[in-house]
């Protein structure tokens, strides 16, 4: 097998590439070699001066790329070391390899947040560690990679650090469901398996769920009724994927915070909140599969955008159920899964225990 290798003077360290070995240092003379089987031929010797400009440029490009290479060695918080610290402050597309980089896996670019179709730069002071996180109380398939910002490279700073947040105030993450199925995440998937953080069985379940949906990096996943998720009070709808019983379904909750009295629906509040769906215990919902929504935390301040608004749509309040005004009576917003709205919210049945997910019988 024929391959090209490059070496430099005053060697510092070595990395494998598709071209053989490229020494990691800068500003030094490049000497090219050809390798055929076990024989190494120095192109700089007489008779071997015919190396093409294209090949030389390719080697030089590879060497330049190596100077900025970032290699993730582990996602296990217990194994992190100072070299696993990365500063991605104000970068738009930082790229990473994993320890399996020598197998010629491509670098994986990551992104922070998209606004109006344009990716935004990571914020200032975004220095820290990538690590695998499994949210407590949720199934294994709910795992995700997060980025812990710290004040230093040691593990003491990791313990005192904070997870990087993205708008509107939720942790930046790469969901396991996405990594299990998308080819681009093969390096991360391999590293999670090698670290023993995810089992082959769990990875396969996630892959099958991924193949049954159309997930993206910005998708919101809800695995359990107890799991909070963020809603934007100014948006027409809240869309998220419901995952349960090894299945997935897309749920779209429309006009929860919209006022429809005028010809054009008005959304009178800006802001965002962490909410949770709950089984209703209200007397009028007895014997039915009815869900209500509770605001757990305001993550972006609520501001009314309509002058002299009469609050027909009630202002979202921490700790309270989301309410609406029906015929001048304030009532909790609710969705009945076994009623006429059943087809629109069918995916929410995946959050109910399997035995009780069937519609109750009424006499």
Query: pLDDT tens track of the chain, all 363 residues?
Result: 444 444 333 333 344 333 333 333 333 333 333 333 344 444 333 433 333 444 434 433 343 344 467 899 999 999 999 999 999 999 999 999 887 655 566 788 999 998 878 899 999 999 999 999 999 999 999 999 999 999 888 888 898 999 999 988 889 999 999 999 998 898 899 999 999 999 999 999 999 999 888 888 788 999 998 899 999 999 988 889 999 888 899 988 888 898 888 767 889 999 999 999 999 999 999 988 889 999 999 999 999 999 999 888 899 999 999 998 877 788 899 988 876 655 667 888 888 876 445 544 443
- Kindly give, in sequence order, each residue whose CB lies less than 8 Å from that of residue 163, ignoring residues fewer than 6 positions away: 133, 146, 147, 148, 149, 171, 172
240 strand-pairing partners: 251
Q: Which residue has the tokens 């909140």?
A: 273
Q: Token pair of 194, please?
A: 């090698």
- The Cα-based distances of 108 to 46, 93, 137, 271 in angstroms read 41, 9, 30, 33
The answer to whether residues 147 and 165 touch, using CB atoms and an 8 Å cutoff, is no
Q: Is 196 exposed, middle or buried (0-12, 13-18, 19+ CB in 10 A)?
A: exposed
The answer to whether residues 217 and 210 touch, using CB atoms and an 8 Å cutoff, is no
Q: Which residue has the tokens 């993730």?
A: 72
Closest among 147, 203, 146 to 177, alpha carbons compared: 203
Q: Which residue has the tokens 């100072």?
A: 82
pLDDT at residue 38, rounded to an integer:
40
């Amino acid at each position: 097998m024929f391959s090209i290798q490059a070496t430099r003077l005053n060697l510092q360290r070595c990395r494998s590439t598709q071209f053989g070995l490229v020494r990691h240092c800068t500003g030094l003379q490049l000497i090219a070699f050809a390798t055929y089987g076990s024989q190494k031929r120095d192109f700089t010797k007489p008779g071997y001066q015919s190396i093409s400009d294209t090949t030389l440029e390719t080697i030089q490009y590879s060497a330049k790329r190596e100077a900025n290479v970032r290699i993730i060695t582990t996602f296990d918080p217990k194994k992190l070391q100072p070299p696993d610290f990365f500063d991605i402050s104000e970068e738009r597309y930082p790229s990473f390899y994993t320890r399996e980089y020598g197998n010629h896996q491509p670098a994986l670019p990551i992104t922070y947040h998209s606004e109006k179709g344009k990716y935004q730069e990571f914020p200032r002071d975004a220095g820290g560690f990538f690590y695998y996180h499994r949210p407590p109380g949720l199934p294994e398939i709910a795992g995700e990679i997060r980025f812990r910002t710290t004040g230093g490279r040691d593990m003491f700073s990791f313990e005192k650090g904070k997870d990087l947040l993205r708008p509107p105030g939720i942790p930046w993450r790469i969901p396991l469901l996405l990594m299990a199925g998308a080819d681009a995440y093969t390096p991360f998937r391999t590293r999670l398996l090698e670290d023993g953080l995810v089992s082959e069985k769990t990875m396969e379940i996630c892959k099958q769920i991924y193949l049954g949906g159309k997930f993206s990096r910005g998708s919101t996943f809800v695995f359990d009724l107890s799991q909070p998720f963020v809603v934007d009070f100014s948006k027409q709808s809240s869309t998220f994927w419901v995952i349960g019983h090894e299945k997935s379904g897309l749920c779209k909750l429309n006009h929860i915070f919209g006022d429809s009295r005028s010809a054009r629906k008005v959304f009178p509040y800006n802001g965002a909140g962490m909410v949770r769906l709950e089984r209703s215990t209200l007397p009028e919902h007895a014997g039915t599969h009815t869900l209500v929504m509770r605001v757990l935390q305001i993550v972006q301040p609520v501001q009314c955008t309509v002058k002299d608004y009469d609050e027909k749509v009630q202002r979202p309040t921490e700790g309270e159920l989301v309410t609406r005004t029906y015929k001048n009576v304030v009532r909790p917003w609710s969705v009945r899964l076994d009623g006429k709205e059943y087809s629109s919210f069918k995916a929410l049945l995946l959050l109910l225990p399997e035995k009780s997910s069937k519609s109750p019988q009424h006499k």
